[in-house]
Chains A and B, each alone.
Chain A
């Protein structure tokens, strides 16, 4: 791999890996929590938190808010501003589409 690699490729790749990590963690948490609290349970033990079944609250609603916060942090810390390249001088001319 040459040192010449564009910074967008590098930061992009790193950010992509971080995002995949977040996705894996979210999936693991959400599915295991929901499964533990929400499957194979007798209905008599139904516990509601703010009207949500307990498993929905801890397995979906709370992670949703947490992931919202993580998204903001991720945006603020990682999505580096970078130059994406000029808008083409006009490929239009090259293809004869000018005007």
Chain B
């Protein structure tokens, strides 16, 4: 007995040290198992009806919680991209996200009821299904599915990367999240130097590498440039590869993360289909809500109240942090701030290099958030699955509370973050995880709470991926395989096709992400708004306009998509002068008249569909009557 005590003490001691990492890992593992369990539950429920409606649409039985907390645009972005923007640009991001104040009603009140009805009348399982039957045109259905497959693939591939990165950061000892460390993907530690000597790298070279210990490099090229200057040409060519390989420790973790992430997501989505996607989404949304609440109070406490946080953050940055059009690091960084004391400096003047949110973009984003939430295929399909109008109404109630509890608190957390962590060069994406670690550091069991908060974005990414997986697989199986390749497929064949298509999509996503391609990111940026610009107007017409024709819907889709695509291409290929507005990204769109491409896309799409509809012969009255008139029930 007595012999055990020192052992126990030692165990307690070591567990205290890296506890942060283990807390996150435990939470992640818990999350993975919870998701698999949910997948199994959903699997049982899915078996109740026919395979197709059950697997791809949850038997049209979504309740209020499931609908409210999953139907709107929430993804990994909410917990990584958005906080990073707040941290970088300051309070102005509140106005950027401002459109969300009406999303609960616009998301459900504009198309909800009618779309749920239409999906029943058309017996549609997928969005292309709905278009095909509503307009009586297989060609339209095919075009819609091609668009969806294209957009969703791009968006989903990016989410795989995000998932892998979260897993990587949760790895104990990855060092990425320990608050004082600034780890880049390529770095050498003392341990690596020892390992290099074991790799038969000459002692002279290892010695020359000593000054690099603790230095991080963002890219391989950056690192090799440094190596070139340290080593002689012979030494360089001889040992470069081995050194770079050693320094890539984090990338190995990234691959593990990618593997675990992909296996989990594909596994539970395979088991439970649409319901598994929706339920895990709901589960993580609820978890996230509590996580954000805890983090809100913890960070306010640490920062000494919001008043104090805002003022400290302002001191850490510059006037742009509290005013429009937003803070620009390069223009009024910490070194520029003292000027503000001597001369009254305007938050905005003609010489500001980058305006995050000029008036035109503020207006644009009021459209973007609202209407992309209405028109994106993933939201459309959720509405199609809703149980009844009561569910839609309750979803409005729920979501208005939920959104209020998520977005403003996240902004407050990140403002506190800027006060507590003045700088995070190149790693602003990590602000929420870092705040979680910082805020819970002194708490008993704090590491577990931090772990939960770390798991939140992981959950968000997972559920986003699984819902895309379902839509993609339903597109491949229902809209392509069943419609065009094998209409007489048996249920067993369809089931196999569904499973195969998911595994295939998952495998492609992994393959693409093993070494992410640069231009992929550009398409993701475009896909997010492009998909909504493609489907918004046709969906509205399908619901409410009797006179809408096939040509109209087709013109709307193509008009919207091509407008957004060309504006993005103009920007990405740098065919237009650089506009110093909006987010700083390497894939900027061209903001025609300083307005977001989405707005132009929707305008063009609306114009095209109305004109094309009016110029073509009116649709068949019998079809329209079936879609719009009272059902002839006995």
Give chain A's interface residues, CB within 8 Å of chain B: 1-2, 4-9, 11-13, 15-16, 18-20, 22-23, 26-27, 30-31, 34-35, 38-44, 46, 48, 50-53, 55-56, 59-61, 63-65, 67-68, 70-72, 74-76, 78-82, 84-88, 90-92, 95-99
Contact with A along B339-373 (1 / 0, CB 8 A): 01000111110000000000100110011001000
Interface centre among A1, A7, A19 (most CB of B within 10 A): A19
**How big is the B interface, by class?**
35 or more
Which residues in window 366-416 of B have CB below 8 A to A? 366-367, 370, 388-390, 392-394, 396-397, 399-401, 404, 408, 412
Nearest residue, chain A, Cβ from B394: A75
Nearest residue, chain B, Cβ from A23: B102
Residues of A with C-beta under 8 A to B389: 79-82, 84
Interchain CA distance A95-B490 in the complex, whole Å? 9
Chain A nearest CB: distance from B586 CB in Å?
27
Q: 16 A-B pairs, CB-CB below 8 angstroms?
A: A7-B630, A9-B628, A12-B117, A23-B105, A34-B98, A34-B324, A38-B95, A39-B323, A39-B359, A43-B314, A63-B101, A67-B101, A68-B104, A71-B104, A79-B113, A90-B50
* Beta-carbon contact of A5 and B109 below 8 Å: no
Residues of B with C-beta under 8 A to A70: 105
* Beta-carbon contact of B348 and A5 below 8 Å: no
Residues of B with C-beta under 8 A to A18: 109
Chain B nearest CB: distance from A27 CB in Å?
4
Chain B nearest CB: distance from A45 CB in Å?
9
Chain A nearest CB: distance from B403 CB in Å?
8
Interchain CA distance A59-B116 in the complex, whole Å? 34
Nearest residue, chain A, Cβ from B124: A91
Q: Known: A16-B110, A79-B392. Is A38-B324 also a contact (CB below 8 A)?
A: yes
* Beta-carbon contact of A5 and B629 below 8 Å: yes
Interchain CA distance A88-B54 in the complex, whole Å? 13
Nearest residue, chain A, Cβ from B349: A40
* Beta-carbon contact of B363 and A27 below 8 Å: yes
Chain B nearest CB: distance from A21 CB in Å?
11
Chain A nearest CB: distance from B97 CB in Å?
8
Q: Which of A6, A19, A81 contacts B390 (CB 8 A)?
A: A81
Chain A nearest CB: distance from B348 CB in Å?
5
Chain A nearest CB: distance from B470 CB in Å?
17
Residues of B with C-beta under 8 A to A91: 50, 53, 123
Q: Which of B117, B307, B323, B396 contacts A79 (CB 8 A)?
A: B396
Q: Known: A16-B109, A43-B340, A68-B401. Is A92-B53 also a contact (CB below 8 A)?
A: yes
Residues of B with C-beta under 8 A to A56: 91, 94-95
Which residues in window 68-122 of B have CB below 8 A to A? 91-92, 94-95, 98-102, 104-106, 108-114, 116-117, 120-121
Chain A nearest CB: distance from B362 CB in Å?
5
Q: Known: A30-B98, A51-B310, A59-B95. Is A84-B323 also a contact (CB below 8 A)?
A: no
* Beta-carbon contact of B113 and A11 below 8 Å: yes
- Determine whether B60 belongs to the interface, using a CB cutoff of 8 Å to chain A: yes
Closest 10 CB pairs of A and B: A51-B306, A92-B50, A43-B319, A12-B114, A85-B120, A71-B400, A19-B109, A51-B307, A39-B324, A27-B366
Q: Which of A8, A60, A68 contacts B98 (CB 8 A)?
A: A60
Interface centre among A5, A11, A15, A23 (most CB of B within 10 A): A23
* Beta-carbon contact of B114 and A8 below 8 Å: yes
Q: Known: A8-B114, A50-B306, A84-B117. Is A99-B397 also a contact (CB below 8 A)?
A: no
* Beta-carbon contact of A99 and B491 below 8 Å: yes
Nearest residue, chain A, Cβ from B320: A43
Interchain CA distance A81-B202 in the complex, whole Å? 78
* Beta-carbon contact of A9 and B114 below 8 Å: yes
Q: Known: A79-B393, A98-B50. Is A39-B325 also a contact (CB below 8 A)?
A: yes
Residues of A with C-beta under 8 A to B362: 31, 34-35
Interface centre among A11, A38, A76 (most CB of B within 10 A): A38
- Determine whether B551 belongs to the interface, using a CB cutoff of 8 Å to chain A: no
Q: Known: A60-B95, A79-B396. Is A96-B490 also a contact (CB below 8 A)?
A: yes
* Beta-carbon contact of A42 and B344 below 8 Å: yes
* Beta-carbon contact of A6 and B117 below 8 Å: yes
- Determine whether B184 belongs to the interface, using a CB cutoff of 8 Å to chain A: no
Q: Which of A6, A75, A81, A95 contacts B482 (CB 8 A)?
A: A95
Interchain CA distance A17-B310 in the complex, whole Å? 39
Chain B nearest CB: distance from A41 CB in Å?
6
Interchain CA distance A86-B121 in the complex, whole Å? 9
Which residues in window 610-634 of B have CB below 8 A to A? 625, 628-631
Q: Which of B51, B117, B347, B400 contacts A72 (CB 8 A)?
A: B400
Chain A nearest CB: distance from B497 CB in Å?
12
Residues of B with C-beta under 8 A to A51: 305-310, 412
14 additional A-B pairs beyond A34-B324, A59-B95, A71-B105, beta carbons within 8 Å, are A4-B629, A16-B110, A19-B106, A23-B102, A27-B99, A31-B98, A31-B366, A43-B344, A60-B408, A65-B404, A71-B104, A84-B113, A92-B53, A98-B50
